[in-house]
Chain A
């Protein structure tokens, strides 16, 4: 086999793997979008119609009438943004502190504890956490939801920021600043933070998507429909008997709910990748 055909075969292998992976990842999204656009007569067709005979956009009108989607999206956006802010502020301080001032073994144990907290299944402390929230009068409130989301997101966000500060912010830079008379806070705000923007954005995206996709806490802590986030709101289409009573509208709602997260991710994904790789590869 000559060099040219070897190169061709390598390229082919690469493309086959890429195409297969892309198909595997994107197929559910294709099905979701197509189901939202299919004429109703073709929804349950057997064998399934992969390409609808025509596109019916009526569901995109109906979905706004059948459920308060705008309110649900607004709730999701608000709670996710607030969770992002809380996580970002706390994780940044905490991550920087661990990366710079933790020297003793017992102190280093804090990082281990944070990793361990991520290994606990979310459902395990469910009932006790619910009662804590209840006794603090935080059920059926946005605050309660933000706290619940943040509790689970902060440890990972902290680890992300800690890795970023450790690997991407040179100690020499901070030492020079110290020699020039800069205080610890000055170093943090004037040096560490400005050069950690990719890490901050990556952490923000992570916290936001955690909040946007969360279902379990919101479904248990809220009984007030006006506060439902979109991830729980879409459950409106699951009927009394557990079946999806309106497949096309639930898929339409799913498209509408997925879009903001995709747009958010599309604009900021370069930061996410650079932020994650800075921590992950070098860490």
Chain B
């Protein structure tokens, strides 16, 4: 008995020690400092770099699989090991910002809010100037115009544009047929007419099926609104990003158009203001016939959650005021080499490999992403019935995120001025008052010019 107590104490102590001593080691790769920034261009075999990217695609395993294949092929070709991490979108910005400010940034990263990230640590920790690689990969001519501004600051390039996000209109072909609609609407007037025919109500007049829904989730209206601004021939800021333009008549008309879909034409459910409302879910439940903007990967969600709709789900270019020209905004996520890298040469090799046309076709087709590189969007993957609207939409898109360092604050969700304004207006507040307040707040943030990624 006496011994058993001693043994028990010893076992407990050993277990505690083993917890800290033997329960796994850091996965941080051993960093070889020999290849200092911009230095080593010789034999890179044996080098190890870290690469971080956000999670893409609806199939949880697809990205992991394609990245594994690409990094293995890259290692075979160059001898360089790429240790990659996939970060969930919910934590992506926080994690990357913490990592950068803490000096733990990866060598290569999939970033966003480029102008804000460049300012981290007074330019010390954010993305590096990689203009030379950008030019080597084809320069401005190789990419869609809508995404170029997002990677350039004062003529220098801080990221290679790769995935592009522009939304096409999604509609239910069976609902169209049932309502006797033969042509997809190309203007807002046609959209309203079609939506009126598609909308169904119960005996009390409540909408049971919306003819059209705004692309809203978690009561976030900004991204759908940006598309409408583009479709009305305006944008949040002017072309050289010196002035906020959404307070002009076209901007007011755009907000009024959103409200009219709900209140005047009664073709969009008022539930859009409910944080639990999600346009994609509404479509999959057949409670909406048109979604005014969905991403290219939406079909995967339809296949998973409502496979009976796969055959009847179509995509088309977003309507606008005239039926021609710009009808959406586009975003890009640049991939950058981070300033803190100690393996610049190896990082450059991986960046060029991943961002090459072949690399992008392989990756983007695996996770159903559209691409910022024109050559990639000409691949046959983008010519399927579902996908073919997206290259055309990309050609009819303008920039989504103005290239200013304070944009991450101005468009912060849910409490940034733009999102607050839109939520208040859809909730019933006066348009003019809200727009004026919002313009004032945006201008204050813009003038302060302080970067806050948190």
Contacts and interface: CB of A to CB of B under 8 A. Distances in A.
B305 A246 contact: yes
Determine which residue in A44, A232, A247 has the highest number of CB atoms from chain B within 10 A of its CB, and name it. Answer: A44
B61 A224 contact: no
B95 A223 contact: yes
A186 to B, nearest CB: 8
A247 B104 contact: no
Most buried by B among A89, A223, A224, A240: A240
Nearest to B209: A46
Contacts of B98: 127, 130, 220
A85 B26 contact: no
Interface string A129-166: 01100100101111100100000000000000000000
Interface of B: 1, 5, 8-9, 12-13, 15-16, 19-20, 23-28, 52, 54-61, 64, 85-91, 94-95, 98-99, 102, 104, 217-218, 278, 280-281, 284-287, 295, 297, 300-301, 304-308
B23 A67 contact: no
Interface string A118-130: 0000000001001
Given A46-B287, A189-B9, A240 B297 contact: yes
A169 interface: no
A243 B217 contact: yes
Tell me whether chain A's interface is mostly helix, strand or loop, or mixed.
helix
B217 A242 contact: yes
A65 interface: yes
Contact of A41 (B85, B99, B278, B307): B307
Lowest 5 CB-CB distances: which A-B pairs, in order? A245-B58, A236-B60, A142-B24, A223-B85, A46-B285
Nearest to B106: A223
A29 interface: no
Interface residues of A, number: 49
8 contacts: A40-B305, A44-B286, A85-B12, A131-B102, A140-B28, A223-B95, A241-B89, A246-B58
Nearest to B333: A240
Contacts of B60: 66-67, 236-237, 246, 249
A15 to B, nearest CB: 33
Given A223-B85, A240-B295, 11 more contacts: A46-B287, A78-B23, A82-B23, A141-B27, A143-B23, A220-B98, A223-B87, A227-B24, A239-B301, A245-B305, A247-B305
Interface in A214-261: 219-220, 223-227, 232, 235-243, 245-249
